[in-house]
């Protein structure tokens, strides 16, 4: 355990240097609101910390973190900064699973800058923010579908050298199998279809950081595969639907999964019919909740409704892992049409305090850390927030990632002092 404590101390020192030279708001020490708060249980994250400490000491075990939100998460910068920090708690030469990704570029929306996606053919996009849609969405809250047998998707991780991920298994989250759309990886590798999860799994012969998705065109092979599919599935579709990609390997460590859809609210994720089924594939040990900025812009927004909807989403996640630990992030300060601070941030803040107390979770108060109502202008003036006074710049998201990770590590240090022999 001494090794764990030493590693955390060194990393916190590095974090202090990072944030000292970042475009920070002032040169003073962190305000108290920058650290985690515990409205009901100061040991709320200890089950998560225990697994982290065991991994650091033994080099064994897989830990899953899930960060779920809206546009702040889809942008990918905040979550990648957290992923980068967590990776440095272990062996960066043998990184664990990259986890869940979605080919946003194929859906004609902004893709995280850390992996590249290219597509060919005709793909249709469905998002959970649409008022009406006629397909079943999963945990990612977004899907692309095609009836074009020549359609393709190319994925390449590691657009830069900040983290070098590789995978030896690919799981495609899909729909009912289609005789016309039998997927191939790298034009030649067949997968195995799992009816229970409606997913295709492909086992690679060696680890790699890129792959292509296409469909079988040879009629003889297609007929053979179709007969095998029909042997255990009485329901087939006439299109191919992709809800996400789990890129996996057998390395131990912390896998950081991110789920975010531009404009999404809590209710939008509850509407996803297969959210509960898909989340079983991750079974997160820690969930960082960052949904709320869009909820707070709706006329019907109330603290009671917001808490009720979050309760439903939490039930979905706890069904996958009853020992789940949670961090609730309050809404950031934001403006309505760049003119007026959104006072519903105060209502959301109270709701998040209530949720953290009710579910024995941690609270990270971004709203107070920013400076409260109207502080977004000051963050914009420091180049940490965009002119829309809702979203952050890349530097701002990285700063948030540094601050949240520092807050978690600060609490982790307290755990190591409290539980020195675990």
Q: How far apart are CA 203 and CA 235, in angstroms?
A: 25
What pLDDT shows up at residue 252?
Answer: 96
Task: Answer whether residue 28 shows pLDDT above 50.
Answer: no
Alpha-carbon distance 291 to 345, whole Å? 12
Q: How far apart are CA 213 and CA 153, in angstroms?
A: 5
C-alpha–C-alpha distance, residues 148 and 181, integer Å = 9
Least confident of 84-93, 113-122, 229-238, 386-395: 229-238
Q: What digits encode the pLDDT tens for the residues 43-89?
A: 999 999 999 999 999 999 999 999 999 999 999 999 999 999 999 99
pTM (predicted TM-score)? 0.92
Query: Average per-residue pLDDT in the chain?
Result: 90
* Residue 93: pLDDT over 90: no
Of 422, 385, 360, 403, nearest to 38 by C-alpha is: 360
Tell me, what's the pLDDT at 179?
82
Q: Calculate mean pLDDT across residues 255-275.
A: 98
* C-alpha distances out from residue 163 to 37, 86, 88, 244, 275, Å: 30, 11, 10, 21, 29
Could you read off the pLDDT of 165-208 as tens digits, one per residue? 999 999 999 998 888 899 999 999 999 999 999 999 999 999 99
Q: With 80 as the cut, is the pLDDT of residue 421 above it?
A: no
CB-based contacts of 351-356 (< 8 A; 24+ apart in sequence): 351/292, 351/303, 351/306, 351/307, 351/310, 352/292, 352/328, 353/39, 354/303, 354/307, 355/307, 355/310, 355/311, 355/328, 356/37, 356/38, 356/39, 356/40, 356/326, 356/328
Phi, psi of 118 (to 5 degrees): -135, 145
Query: Three-class SS of residue 92?
Result: coil
Dist. CA 140–CA 77, nearest whole Å:
17
Sketch out the chain's domains with CATH numbers: 1-94+253-422 (3.40.50.1110), 97-250 (2.60.120.1360)
Predicted local confidence at residue 218, as pLDDT: 67
Rounded distance between C-alpha atoms, residue 62 and residue 253, angstroms: 5
What's the gap between Cα 74 and its chain centre?
A: 8
Q: What is the pLDDT of residue 29?
A: 52
Summarised one tens digit per residue, pLDDT across range 136-176 is 999 999 999 999 999 999 999 998 777 899 999 999 999 98
Q: How many residues in total does the chain contain?
A: 422
- Tell which phi-psi region holds residue 395, choosing left (phi > 0), alpha (psi between -120 and 50) or beta: alpha
Cα(266)–Cα(310) distance, integer angstroms? 6
225 has pLDDT over 80: no
Q: How large is the average pLDDT for residues 268-285?
A: 97
User: What's residue 234's pLDDT?
Assistant: 53
């Amino acid at each position: 355990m001494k090794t764990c404590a030493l590693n955390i101390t060194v990393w916190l020192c590095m974090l202090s240097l990072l944030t000292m030279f970042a475009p920070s708001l002032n040169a003073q020490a962190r305000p108290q609101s920058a650290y985690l708060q515990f409205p009901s249980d100061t040991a709320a994250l200890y089950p998560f910390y225990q697994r982290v400490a065991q991994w650091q000491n033994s080099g064994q075990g897989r830990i899953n973190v899930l960060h779920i939100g809206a546009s702040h998460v889809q942008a990918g910068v905040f979550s990648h900064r957290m992923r980068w920090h967590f990776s440095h708690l272990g062996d960066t030469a043998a990184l664990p699973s990259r986890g869940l990704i979605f080919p946003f570029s194929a859906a004609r929306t902004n893709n995280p800058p850390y992996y590249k996606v290219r597509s060919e053919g005709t793909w249709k996009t469905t998002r959970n923010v649409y008022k009406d849609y006629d397909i079943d969405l999963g945990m990612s809250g977004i899907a692309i579908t095609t009836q074009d047998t020549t359609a393709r998707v190319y994925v390449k991780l590691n657009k830069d050298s900040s983290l070098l991920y590789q995978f030896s298994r690919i799981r495609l989250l899909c729909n009912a199998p289609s005789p016309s759309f039998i997927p191939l990886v790298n034009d030649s590798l067949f997968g195995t279809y799992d009816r229970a999860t409606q997913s295709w799994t492909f086992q690679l012969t060696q680890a790699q950081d890129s792959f292509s998705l296409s469909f079988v065109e040879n009629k003889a092979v297609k007929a053979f595969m179709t007969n095998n599919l029909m042997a255990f599935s009485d329901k087939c579709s006439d299109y191919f639907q992709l809800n996400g990609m789990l890129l996996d390997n057998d390395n131990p460590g912390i896998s950081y999964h991110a789920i975010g859809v531009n404009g999404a609210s809590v209710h939008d994720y509850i509407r996803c019919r297969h959210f509960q089924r898909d989340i079983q594939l991750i079974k997160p040990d820690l969930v960082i909740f960052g949904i709320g900025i869009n909820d707070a812009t709706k006329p019907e927004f109330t603290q009671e409704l917001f808490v009720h909807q979050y309760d439903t989403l939490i039930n979905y996640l706890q069904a996958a892992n009853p020992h789940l630990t949670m961090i609730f992030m309050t809404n950031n300060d934001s403006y309505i049409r760049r003119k007026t601070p959104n006072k519903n941030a105060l209502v959301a803040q109270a709701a998040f305090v209530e949720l953290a107390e009710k579910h024995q979770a941690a609270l990270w108060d971004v709203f107070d850390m920013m400076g409260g109502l109207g502080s977004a202008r000051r963050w914009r003036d420091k180049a940490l927030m965009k002119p829309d006074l809702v979203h952050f710049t890349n530097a701002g998201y990285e700063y948030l990632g540094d601050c949240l990770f520092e807050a978690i590590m600060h609490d982790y240090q307290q755990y190591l002092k409290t539980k020195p022999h675990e």
